[in-house]
Structure 1
Amino acid sequence: MASQLTLSIVTPERELVRVQADEVELPGTEGYFGVLPGHTPLLAALTVGRLTYRVGQERHVLAIATGLAEVLPDQVTVLSQIAELPEDIDVGRAEEARKRAQARLGSKGDDLDYERARNALDKAILRLQVASRARAR
Structure 2
Amino acid sequence: MATLKLEIVTPEEKIYSEDVEMVTLPGSEGELGVYPKHVPLLTTLVPGELRVLKNGRETAMAIGEGFVEVRADAVSVLTDMALESEKIDIAAAEAAVERAKAAMKEDQTPEQVAAIQASLQKALAQLHVKHRRHHG
TM-score range, shorter chain: 0.7 to 0.9
- 1:13-61 deviation digits (Å, cap 9, x = unpaired): 2111112111111111122111111101111111111111111331111
Q: Which residue of 1 aligns with 2:41?
A: 42
Number of aligned positions between the proteins: 134
TM-score (norm 1): 0.87
TM-score (norm 2): 0.88
Aligned mates of 1:11, 1:115 — CA distance in 2: 20
Taking the TM superposition and a 5 Å limit, the aligned residue runs for 1:41-60 are 41-60=40-59
Q: Confirm whether residue 102 of structure 1 aligns to residue 101 of structure 2.
A: yes
Q: Which residue of 2 aligns with 1:73?
A: 72
Q: Which residue of 2 aligns with 1:87?
A: 86
Counterpart code for 1:43: L
The unaligned stretches of length 5 or more in structure 2 are: none
Q: Which residue of 2 aligns with 1:21?
A: 20
Counterpart code for 1:78: V
Counterpart code for 2:126: R
Q: Which residue of 2 aligns with 1:8?
A: 7
State the 4+ residue runs in structure 1 displaced beyond 3 angstroms.
Answer: none
**Alpha-carbon distance, 1:3 to partner:** 0.8
Select which of 108, 111, 119 maps to 1:111: 108
> Secondary structure of the residue that 1:39 maps to in structure 2?
coil
> Secondary structure of the residue that 1:114 maps to in structure 2?
helix
The unaligned stretches of length 5 or more in structure 1 are: none
Give the alignment's Cα RMSD to 1 decimal.
1.8
Identity between Structure 1 and Structure 2 (%): 37
